[in-house]
Amino acid sequence: MTEPKIRIENISYAYDGAPALRNISLEVQPNTITVFFGPAGGGKTTLLRLINRLNDLVENTKIEGRILLDGQDIYAPGVDVSQLRRKVGMVFALPLPLPGTLRENVVYGPKRAGVRDVRRLVEITERSLTQAALWDEVKDRLDSPASALSGGQQQRLCIARSLALEPEVLLLDEPTSGLDPISTGKVEAALQEAKKNYTIIIIPHSIQQAARVADYAAFFLMGELIEYRRGREIFTTPRDKRTEDYVTGRFG
Partner 1 sequence: MNRYLGQRVGFTLLGGLTFIVVAPILLVVGVIVVNGLGALSWEFLTAMPREGMKAGGIFPAIVGTLLLTLGTALVAIPLGIGGAIYLAEYARETWFTRAIRLAIINLAGIPSVVYGLFGLGMFVLFSQFGTSIVAGSLTLALMTLPIIISASEEALRAVPTEFRTVNASLGGTHWQGIRQVVLPQALPGIITGVILGLLRAAGETAPILFTVAAFYLPRLPQSPFDQTMALPYHLYVISTQVPGMPLQIQYGTALVLLTLALALNLCATLIRSYFRKRRQW
Do 48 and 204 form a contact (C-beta atoms < 8 A)? no
Q: Is 83 in the site for partner 1 (CB under 8 A)?
A: yes
Q: Among 61-69, 141-149, 193-201, 202-210, which window interacts with partner 1 (CB under 8 A)?
A: 141-149
Phi-psi region of 65 (alpha: psi -120 to 50; beta: other; left: phi over 0): left
Q: Determine which residue in the list 165, 191, 200, 234 makes contact with partner 1, applying CB under 8 A.
A: 165
Phi-psi region of 53 (alpha: psi -120 to 50; beta: other; left: phi over 0): left
Minimum CB separation from partner 1 for residue 182, in Å? 24
Minimum CB separation from partner 1 for residue 65, in Å? 22
| CA dist., res. 53 & res. 50, Å (int) | 5
Binding to partner 1, residues 33-72 (CB under 8 A): 52, 54, 56-57, 59
Handedness of CA 30, 125, 156, 93 (dihedral sign): positive
Task: List residues bridging with 201 in a β-sheet.
Answer: 34, 171
Minimum CB separation from partner 1 for residue 51, in Å? 11
Q: Is 175 in the site for partner 1 (CB under 8 A)?
A: no
Tell how strand 169-173 and strand 88-91 pair up. parallel
Q: Is 146 in the site for partner 1 (CB under 8 A)?
A: yes
Tell how strand 199-203 and strand 6-15 pair up. unpaired
Minimum CB separation from partner 1 for residue 8, in Å? 19
Q: Is 228 in the site for partner 1 (CB under 8 A)?
A: no
Number of residues in contact with partner 1 under rule CB under 8 A: 28
Q: Determine which residue in the list 82, 136, 181, 196 makes contact with partner 1, applying CB under 8 A.
A: 82
Smallest Cα–Cα separation from 162: which of 117, 201, 204? Answer: 201
Do 63 and 50 form a contact (C-beta atoms < 8 A)? yes
| CA dist., res. 198 & res. 193, Å (int) | 9
Site string for partner 1, 86-115 (x = CB under 8 A): x--xx-x-x-xxxxx-------xx--xx--
* End-to-end CA, the chain: 34
Minimum CB separation from partner 1 for residue 135, in Å? 20
Q: Is 79 in the site for partner 1 (CB under 8 A)?
A: no
**What is the H or E stretch that residue 165 is in?**
none
Minimum CB separation from partner 1 for residue 80, in Å? 9
Binding site for partner 1 (CB under 8 A): 52, 54, 56-57, 59, 82-83, 85-86, 89-90, 92, 94, 96-100, 108-109, 112-113, 145-147, 161-162, 165
